[in-house]
Structure 1
Amino acid sequence: MEHEKLIVALREACAPMAIFVTGAGVPAPWGVAVGLADASINRPLTVDTPLRIASNTKMFVAATILRLWEQGKIDLDSSIAPVMTPALNALLESAGYRTELITVRQLMNHSAGIYDHGDDPRFIQAVLADPSHNWTREEQVRLSIQYSGPQSEPGSKFQYSDTGYILLGDIVERVTGRTLAAAVRRELRFDELGLESTWWELFERPPSHIKSRARQFFDGKRSTIDVYPTAL
């Protein structure tokens, strides 16, 4: 009955949706999905349809940072300057960022004052102009400092920043000696937890059993199926 009520509610929303239900009081996890994964071929969305999780990736990166903190490999309140790739540190300093005062924790909670290149209209235009381009960290940091400089003193205010998480990805790789994809998979125990349909696009092969990805759109119009806007 709960399944049926939820399906009715989702259908009334008139949009493709999938919901996974688990937690206290739920005897076994379950999920429901409605709508189309690809309207061009009338392919239905199911609970097994893979989706790009976009900025939800930040939670995986943050959780990996916290795992490394638990292991004593990262000090959340230490400066990012010595743990970051020197070239990225030099770029930030050239734009007026005092990286010796910015901490790992501030990058994680979006209070480092770093300009968000990902939300700048010029970046979106650049991505759509060359949708197959795989953006490197250095390219994205360069765009951030070209677009603007420090937004606030480190730790003084919240300001969402994709660029800050680009830097965290770099820090994870330098601390672990692994690619970000491999580090996140290892530290968060993807394989042990049975996350058989979760992979890091561009850096890991899709699982052999996986279905085709849902067709997602930018601004409700432009398909992003073959667009690669960022790389943590």
Structure 2
Amino acid sequence: MRKSLDPAALKAALEDVHRAGIPGLFAEVRDGDQIWRGAAGVADVDSGRPVTADMRHRVGSITKTFTAAAVLQQVESGRIGLDTPIGRYLPKLVPGERGDAITVRMLINHTSGLAEYLPCAYPSLKTYPDLANTEPQSLDDNRFTRFHSTELIEMGVTAPAVGTPGGTPGVYSNTNYLLLGALLEHVTGTTAEQYITRNVIERAGLCDTELPTGPHVDGPHSQIYEAWFGMIDPPRDYSVYDMSWVGPAGSLISTVTDLNRFFGKLLAGEIVSPSSLAQMQRTVPVISQEGRTIDYGLGLHPMAAPGQDTYWGHGGTVWGAGALALIRADGRRQMAVAVNLQRWNRFGSSGKPQPHPIDDALMALHRVAMYG
């Protein structure tokens, strides 16, 4: 028997995450008409300003669900073919045989074989499994750098391939979603940010969600603290940051309320058609940036505890901020959680990030929010 919301248990689980080491976090959990919002900790470690559940927050790769939905709208209109090679639309960005072999679907579900551009844009930062051999100075050096998406795409396309087009497991790569942004611009005649704003964000009625054009977060928000696996000690605030480094792959600002509203409307067939949603829920194995193999669809991936209901959604991180938004397959139960610290796990002698009490506390919070 499914349990309804338990405010006391949810509040206690939220406080446990704060006590485990997250400066501040906030969440909204829904079960039908029941809505619970809560917050724990501080938005500013210096002033002690408390975090609140209505704060705007950088939500990272949850942006990918918005971008995927925008592309599928264009598939529905006939302007984009889901299984059409990207080279037919963007031959200069993905030329030759790769442009002929990589389809739009492969970009959305990360089976294109295109490499991640981030190690090229941030020379002293490497991706898994070389995280231990990095220097976080790149984060400060690029705080106000204005990247052009075509420059970043070229870095990813010209880097050695990480797989064959359509092969599985795929490899998660932000290069794919920058290309999807360029594709939207090509077929709509407007920027990806403008199209997504008008046709996804506004269609869903989201009042506190935006794709920013500058480095600041407008409105009430938390400072966000990056630890970079203990190499930044104490963790440093990166709430002011030019997000052109990730654009339509991860720059979104939102609230936990808006995230729940968006995923609710998405699964209700109000953002894309039911047939497009079915395509979004067709999954393939993909290796995440943490090196784990996950099931990934078209901007969505499922999560479930053994023997429990399946949830659909996405997580996201940027420098200092993290978020997770999930909705049960029947659309009734939802959770959205935001935290203001990232990469708290220090490296052990093996060179791998070590477990931290925050990990267990967050999992406990997720279980209470999802399953009661």
Query: Shared fold (TM-score greater than 0.5)?
Result: yes
1:88 and 2:96 correspond: no
Partner of 2:37: 31
Residue identity opposite 1:21 in structure 2: V
Matches within 5 A, 1:155-174: 155-157=166-168, 158-174=170-186
| Fraction of identical pairs, as percent | 27
1:197 and 2:198 correspond: no
Give 1:6 shift: 0.7
1:226 and 2:236 correspond: no
Contact 2:216 2:239 in 1 (8 A): no
Contact 1:113 1:159 in 2 (8 A): yes
Tell me, what secondary structure is at the counterpart of 1:43?
coil
1:3 and 2:7 correspond: yes
Residue deviations 1:106-130 (CA, integer Å, cap 9, x gap): 0000000000122666264545323
Gaps of at least 5 residues in structure 1 are none
Q: 2:153 aligns with which of 134, 138, 141?
A: 141
Distance between the aligned counterparts of 2:224 and 2:112, measured in 1?
31
Contact 2:174 2:246 in 1 (8 A): no
Partner of 2:105: 105
1:185 and 2:197 correspond: yes
1:152 and 2:163 correspond: yes
Partner of 1:12: 16
Stretch of structure 1 that moved more, 48-57 or 12-21: 12-21
Stretch of structure 1 that moved more, 222-231 or 170-179: 222-231
Residue identity opposite 2:141 in structure 1: A
* Cα 1:69/1:29, change in 2 over 3 Å: farther
Tell me, what secondary structure is at the counterpart of 2:37?
strand
Give 1:184 shift: 0.8
Q: 1:48 aligns with which of 20, 44, 54?
A: 54
Tell me, what secondary structure is at the counterpart of 1:150?
coil
Distance between the aligned counterparts of 1:130 and 1:165, measured in 2?
21
Distance between the aligned counterparts of 2:193 and 2:142, measured in 1?
24
TM-score, with structure 1 as normaliser: 0.83
Partner of 1:67: 73
Residue deviations 1:14-57 (CA, integer Å, cap 9, x gap): 222222222xx422433212111221221211111111011111
Contact 1:64 1:184 in 2 (8 A): yes
Give 1:142 shift: 3.1
1:217 and 2:255 correspond: no
Residue identity opposite 2:123 in structure 1: R
* Cα 1:123/1:99, change in 2 over 3 Å: farther
Q: Which one has a larger percent helix, Structure 1 or Structure 2?
A: 1
Stretch of structure 1 that moved more, 103-112 or 65-74: 65-74
Aligned length: 219
Partner of 2:291: none
Give 1:193 shift: 3.2
TM-score, with structure 2 as normaliser: 0.54
Tell me, what secondary structure is at the counterpart of 1:197?
coil
Distance between the aligned counterparts of 1:18 and 1:82, measured in 2?
44
Contact 2:93 2:150 in 1 (8 A): yes
Distance between the aligned counterparts of 1:165 and 1:123, measured in 2?
23
Give 1:133 shift: 0.7
Stretch of structure 1 that moved more, 217-226 or 39-48: 217-226
* Cα 1:177/1:37, change in 2 over 3 Å: same
Contact 2:26 2:37 in 1 (8 A): yes
Q: Which one has a larger percent strand, Structure 1 or Structure 2?
A: 2
Partner of 2:258: none
